[in-house]
Amino acid sequence: DERFLKEISTLKRKGAELMEENQQLKQQMEKISVNKEVVAEQSRPPESSSARAWSSATDPPPAAYNSSDISLRLG
């Protein structure tokens, strides 16, 4: 009985250590992710006005322009 209780106690302690290590690793991954985003943002060249114009010319129109009550009369 004592041997099993000792083994259970050891496993609980190891489990707590692993949970703490897991939490530390999660925090490290969050820091790395934030740092990557900052580096990516800093390394991206500023968008030119012609690039913005091209983007708006190729983007689909807002949903308001797609409503069914808009009609075009020819002639």
Q: Write the pLDDT tens digit of every residue in 20-71.
A: 999 999 999 999 988 888 888 888 776 665 555 555 555 655 555 555 555 6
Q: In whole angstroms, give the CA distance from residue 33 to residue 39.
A: 10
Is 36 contained in some domain?
A: yes
| Residue numbers of the domain that contains 32 | 1-42
Is 15 contained in some domain?
A: yes
Residue 40's pLDDT is what?
Answer: 80
Q: Enter the tokens of residue 44.
A: 């991206």
pTM for the predicted model, two decimal places: 0.47
Number of domains in the chain: 1
Average pLDDT, the chain: 79
Is 25 contained in some domain?
A: yes
